[in-house]
């Protein structure tokens, strides 16, 4: 790779870190950049290097949220423990299951997410009082820790968005604190997938570490901006990311 390609990848990592820290979806920027700007690398290497850069940003953002927001640790910590194993399982299955089969399903889910956010303008703006019974708490651990984590290891785009909506709808969490929970789980999903890819020798370490530094810078800016500007800002970014994801998947499916 020549210098301009590397610079563009570092800028993509910076932008991806910001988006991921606010609401998730940084893979929408970073993974296509890796595949377009380094076309000689195998797809698996692009996925693996994306995970290396992403885990640095999500870990950095999680630390910032822990100091300034109120993550639901009794839910997020056990969910993160499950997420490491389930994301690793998704990464192991990535070669066996075509992501093309999943794209129409993901599009429908993302459209449903957008509809919920648009039709319920108060969702996530303020914490909602909900009955935290065992069923809701269990679902808030298992859905992110098992289903979404497996999806992140298998495919990836939109993981942070799904996590935020899960905590908001199940536990009545506002968008800022839901993002805090999401960063903890997302760090674990990135770790699980990265361990598998590293064991398979897929990671481009030098490039990935350079992108990781930029991802951290973007993540710090995004996390601090989300905390200072509040749930309305996160909601607006969420809608933009969901729209971009739907357009990207729709183009890939039908173009």
Give 89-99 pLDDT, tens digit per residue: 998 887 676 65
Residues 6+ apart with CB under 8 A from 164: 23, 24, 124, 175, 178, 179, 182, 234, 238
Question: Quick one: pLDDT at residue 234?
Answer: 85
Which DSSP category does 41 fall into?
Answer: S
Nearest Cα to 54, choosing from 214, 164, 235?
Answer: 214
pLDDT digits (tens, 9 = 90+) for 178-188: 999 999 999 99
Question: Quick one: pLDDT at residue 241?
Answer: 79
Chain-wide mean pLDDT for the chain?
86
In percent, how much of the chain has pLDDT > 70? 91
Residues 6+ apart with CB under 8 A from 81: 145, 188
- Quote the crossing angle between the two packed helices 159-171 and 231-254, to the nearest 10°: 130
pLDDT digits (tens, 9 = 90+) for 17-76: 999 888 887 877 888 888 888 877 787 788 889 999 999 999 999 999 998 888 999 999
Does the pLDDT of residue 148 top 80, yes or no?
A: yes
User: What pTM was estimated for this model as a whole?
Assistant: 0.85
Dist. CA 189–CA 97, nearest whole Å: 18
Phi and psi angles of residue 131, each rounded to the nearest 5 degrees, phi first:
-75, 110
User: What is the mean pLDDT of the segment spanning 211-222?
Assistant: 96
Nearest Cα to 31, choosing from 57, 6, 56, 12?
Answer: 12
Question: Quick one: pLDDT at residue 105?
Answer: 66
Structure tokens at 25: 């979806």
Does the pLDDT of residue 2 top 90, yes or no?
A: no
Does the pLDDT of residue 231 top 90, yes or no?
A: no
């Amino acid at each position: 790779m020549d210098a301009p390609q590397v610079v563009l990848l570092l800028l993509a990592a910076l932008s991806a870190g910001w988006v991921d820290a606010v609401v998730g979806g940084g893979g929408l920027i970073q993974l296509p950049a890796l595949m377009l700007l380094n076309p000689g690398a195998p797809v698996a290497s692009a996925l693996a290097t994306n995970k290396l850069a992403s885990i640095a940003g999500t870990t950095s953002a999680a630390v910032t949220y822990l100091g300034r927001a109120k993550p639901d640790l009794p839910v997020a910590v056990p969910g993160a423990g499950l997420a490491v194993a389930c994301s690793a399982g998704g990464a192991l299955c990535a070669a066996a299951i075509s992501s093309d089969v999943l794209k129409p399903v993901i599009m429908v889910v993302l459209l449903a997410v957008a509809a919920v956010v648009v039709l319920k303008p108060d969702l996530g703006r303020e914490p909602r009082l909900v009955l935290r019974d065992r069923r809701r708490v269990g679902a808030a651990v298992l859905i992110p820790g098992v289903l979404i984590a497996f999806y992140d290891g298998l495919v990836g785009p939109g993981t942070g968005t799904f996590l935020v909506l899960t905590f908001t709808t199940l536990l009545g969490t506002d968008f800022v604190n839901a993002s805090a929970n999401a960063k903890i789980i997302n760090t674990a999903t990135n770790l699980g997938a990265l361990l598998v890819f590293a064991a398979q020798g897929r990671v481009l370490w030098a490039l990935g570490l350079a992108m990781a530094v930029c991802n951290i810078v973007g993540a710090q800016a995004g996390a601090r901006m989300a905390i200072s500007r509040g749930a309305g800002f996160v909601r607006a970014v969420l809608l933009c990311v969901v729209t971009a994801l739907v357009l990207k998947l729709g183009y890939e499916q039908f173009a």
